[in-house]
Amino acid sequence: MLNKFIKIKSIKAISLMLALSLPTGLLMGQALPDFTVLVEKNAPSIVNVSTTLAAPEARTEDRANLDELLRRFYGDKAPQLDLPQPNEEQESPSATGSGFIISADGYIVTNHHVVDTATSITVTLNDQREFTATVVGSDERSDLALLKIDATDLPAVKLGDSSKLKVGEWVLAIGSPFGLQYSVTAGIISYMGRSLPTEGSNYVSFIQTDVAINPGNSGGPLFNLAGEVIGINSQIFSNSGGSIGLSFAIPVDVAKNVVAQLRENGSVSRGWMGVGIEDVSQELAQAFNLETPHGALVNRILDGGPAQAAGFQAGDIIVEFNGQAIRTSADLPYYVGLVMPGTKVPVKIVREGQSQALDMKVGSLGEATTLAAAFPALTSNRLGLVVAEIDQKTMQALGIEHGVLVQEVEGAAAAAQIKPGDIIVALNNVDITSPADIERVSALLPVNRVLPVLIARNEQLSYFTITLPE
């Protein structure tokens, strides 16, 4: 009887543990989402986008080299190969992509990379009708393109609000993975505001999902359970080329802004501050008297830019822009890019440990300044540096107003990972204009304290930290 009681008690305990491990929705009798109505309603708005690209032209020198090689082997009997001439243009189809109709009169959204360099674009509707599409406008920075086909009474999707999305929310994608048209996959949002280390993506804060996205899904829509488009599938992370549960979509709020400008102007204007920025590490937070590592650390003020006019300084930490919290440096370009040039916005910063508010008139996005490297040296034994002056012409070429060239490194500087060829622009928030400045400033530096050093290296400015031992 005792054994029976123990068994029953154990079964109850196991049942309780199993119940506690189940999702709340299943405990309450809730079923998983049914996507059938959503798909039936929206599938007619999804299109397949196929392009034709111009094949690379045969190069004259390649043909000459081949002819010479054939003569060496065959002499006067060298075969005559019927190869394309350098001015002949061949065409070959590219991989297909996806898109979706946003208006009944034939406007379609897809990815920039789907139609980039295309000589012709064919759009296939859900009812198998085919149309030749023209590019109204295409924007590489957001990876968005707007197409137009000559058709009317088309079924259009409903655009949602990506600012209301939450991690864990169900989402569904419809597209043409590997050319398999109108394929449907579902999953959840894994992360909001993901910054990717890919060229040109600074102005997009991606939606990360575990939805199965593969080549061909690019440009297709991502829906919420209400049947609204809340994202445009753009990228995947994969070693194999197939889905591994890491897919990224452009928020629809970004798409609304870009598409409206493409439709009206054929191009996109973005806000610009005129600053160089970087993340705030734990050591930099300590060096700048910040309680926790957050915000975008300004390491450069571009001459004549909006930030200079607004009174920003190198060493400022931007923690809020136009009412939006800045968690990392990747957040800032995204929010700045959403603001139309000429708009005045509030910016909250931390300067020397104190909170301040600045107002800035946003400029129009300009080209990045290129940094390069340059040469009588002075040794600063306390830091372990040998530095040299830089002439004015070189500084102009680098896009900086002052600094010294690092020639040799040892001691504390080596421990801080400063390298020969670096340019020291500021030390402990003091501008460095000559080798004598390095000697003067370093003599006053406290020991056993993390101190910031502003370095120009490899076409960008970054803050490093250095600690002088006793």
- In this predicted structure, what is the pLDDT of residue 319? 95
- Phi and psi at residue 426, to the nearest 5°: -150, 145
- In this predicted structure, what is the pLDDT of residue 284? 86
The fold of 158-265 is Thrombin, subunit H (2.40.10)
Angle, helix 331-338 to helix 252-265, in steps of 10 degrees: 40
Residue 204 pLDDT exceeds 80? yes
Parse the chain into domains and list their residue ranges: 158-265, 271-364, 377-466
Higher pLDDT, 328 or 105: 105
CA 243 to chain centre: 20
For residues 9-14, average pLDDT: 48
Residue 85 pLDDT exceeds 70? no
Task: Please report the sign of the dihedral spanned by the C-alpha atoms of residue 299, residue 304, residue 306, residue 309.
Answer: positive
How far, in Å, CA of 186 to CA of 87, rounded? 47
Look up residue 198 and give its DSSP letter.
S
Pairing label, strands 228-236, 158-159: parallel
Which positions are annotated as active-site residues? 113, 143, 218
Identify which of 435, 436, 427 has the alpha carbon closest to the alpha carbon of residue 463.
427
Are the C-beta atoms of 19 and 27 separated by less than 8 Å? yes
- Comparing 271-364 with 377-466, is the CATH topology the same? yes
- Phi and psi at residue 147, to the nearest 5°: -110, 160
Quick: pLDDT tens for 173-182: 999 998 888 9
Residue 18 pLDDT exceeds 50? no
Within 10 angstroms of residue 205's Cβ, the number of other Cβ atoms is: 23
- In this predicted structure, what is the pLDDT of residue 421? 80
Higher pLDDT, 252 or 29: 252
Are the C-beta atoms of 200 and 143 separated by less than 8 Å? yes
The residue whose two tokens read 């440009």 is: 219
Tokens of 322: 């136009």
Higher pLDDT, 87 or 159: 159
Identify which of 187, 265, 200 has the alpha carbon closest to the alpha carbon of residue 234.
200
Which SS3 state, helix, strand or coil, does residue 136 take? strand
Higher pLDDT, 331 or 92: 331
- Phi and psi at residue 368, to the nearest 5°: -70, 145
Higher pLDDT, 108 or 85: 108
Confidence of residue 71 (pLDDT cuts 50, 70, 90): low
Residue 70 pLDDT exceeds 60? no
Look up residue 178 and give its DSSP letter.
G
- In this predicted structure, what is the pLDDT of residue 437? 81
Residue 121 pLDDT exceeds 80? yes
Confidence of residue 63 (pLDDT cuts 50, 70, 90): low
For residues 442-453, average pLDDT: 84
How far, in Å, CA of 49 to CA of 108, rounded? 10
- In this predicted structure, what is the pLDDT of residue 459? 67
Confidence of residue 365 (pLDDT cuts 50, 70, 90): confident
For residues 446-454, average pLDDT: 87
Residue 412 pLDDT exceeds 80? yes
Quote the percentage of the chain above a pLDDT of 90: 41
How far, in Å, CA of 198 to CA of 330, rounded? 12
Residues 377-466, CATH architecture: Roll (2.30)
- In this predicted structure, what is the pLDDT of residue 1? 38
- In this predicted structure, what is the pLDDT of residue 52? 87
Tokens of 233: 């599938």
DSSP string spanning 31-93?
A: PPP--HHHHHHHGGGEEEEEEEEEPPPPPHHHHHHHHHHHHHHHGGG-----PPPTT---EEE
- In this predicted structure, what is the pLDDT of residue 21? 46
The fold of 271-364 is Pdz3 Domain (2.30.42)
- In this predicted structure, what is the pLDDT of residue 82? 54
- In this predicted structure, what is the pLDDT of residue 155? 97
For residues 339-343, average pLDDT: 90
Which SS3 state, helix, strand or coil, does residue 367 take? coil
For residues 389-414, average pLDDT: 78
- In this predicted structure, what is the pLDDT of residue 94? 62
Q: What is the mean pLDDT of the chain?
A: 81
- In this predicted structure, what is the pLDDT of residue 79? 55
CA 465 to chain centre: 26
CA 414 to chain centre: 32
The residue whose two tokens read 């034939």 is: 106
Residue type, position 273, single letter: M
User: Across-strand partners of 49?
Assistant: 97, 123
How far, in Å, CA of 192 to CA of 81, rounded? 56
Confidence of residue 384 (pLDDT cuts 50, 70, 90): confident
For residues 145-164, average pLDDT: 96
Tokens of 119: 């000589």
Confidence of residue 462 (pLDDT cuts 50, 70, 90): confident
Quick: pLDDT tens for 243-283: 788 899 999 999 999 999 999 999 888 888 988 888 888 88
Highest-pLDDT range among 127-131, 278-282, 393-397: 127-131
How far, in Å, CA of 285 to CA of 76, rounded? 75
Task: Please report the sign of the dihedral spanned by the C-alpha atoms of residue 287, residue 289, residue 291, residue 296.
Answer: negative
How far, in Å, CA of 420 to CA of 418, rounded? 7
